[in-house]
Amino acid sequence: MPERGLVFGNRGCLHDAAGRIVRRQATRRWIACRLEFRGRRRPAANVPGRYTGLYFLDDATAFAAGHRPCAECRREDYRRVVEVLGLGGADAIDAQLAAERSGPRRVSAPGALPDGAFVLRGGAPCLVWDGALHPWSPGGYGAAVPFDGPLETITPPSLLRVLREGWAPLVPFVHPSRSCSGVV
């Protein structure tokens, strides 16, 4: 299924025994993991009583949702976030991101947004990349559209700061559907 995405997310167990989503989160730790790590593969279906697997199109989408890199399977990416934010570790980063996810969204001028940021354009999510907006869908990004004035930012401010500082993750940051030239 192409909508499975390139990044696995975890917010704890969100589903009941019948597989219905019953809560938004079960923990303050919202992490983004590799699909495979040390022989472990992420399950296609949720297992009752275990964490609920969330699949993100790519790292940019996981950042927009307020997930940080996992400290185990994405150690180097996690260390980069700790270094940029200077908050001391997972507990402090998770508390900061939790506050930002529940706070008001900010409006930003297009030139103030780094590549990889997510914004709302006409109520629909878009990726900022190479001076244009790329409409998001679960299966990939649409053709570039121009900026048209101030935009409501989805990506939490702390993760925007990480993007501005130069983000070079070990997993694919942006899904290949974004690229017309084949460069991602």
pLDDT digit string, tens, across residues 106-159: 888 777 899 999 999 988 999 998 888 999 998 899 999 988 778 899 999 999
pLDDT single digits (tens) 43-93: 666 667 777 777 888 999 999 999 999 999 899 999 999 999 999 899 999
**Residue of 170, 165, 155 lying closest to 84 (CA atoms):** 165
Say if 76 falls within a structural domain.
Answer: yes
Q: Is residue 184 part of a domain?
A: no
When pLDDT is averaged across residues 17-46 and rounded to a whole number, the result is 75
Which SS3 state, helix, strand or coil, does residue 42 take?
Answer: coil
Identity of the residue numbered 182: G
Q: Alpha-carbon distance 136 to 124, whole Å?
A: 8
Number of domains in the chain: 1
Rounded distance between C-alpha atoms, residue 120 and residue 19, angstroms: 30
Residues 19 and 156: beta-carbon distance below 8 Å? no
- The pTM (predicted TM-score) of the whole model is 0.84
The two tokens of residue 169 are 């993750």
| Residue 122, both tokens | 């006409």
Residue 50 domain boundaries = 2-172
Query: pLDDT value at position 111?
Result: 79
DSSP state for residue 163 in the 8-state scheme: H
- The token duo for 79 is 């260390």
CA atoms of 114 and 167, how far apart (whole Å): 10
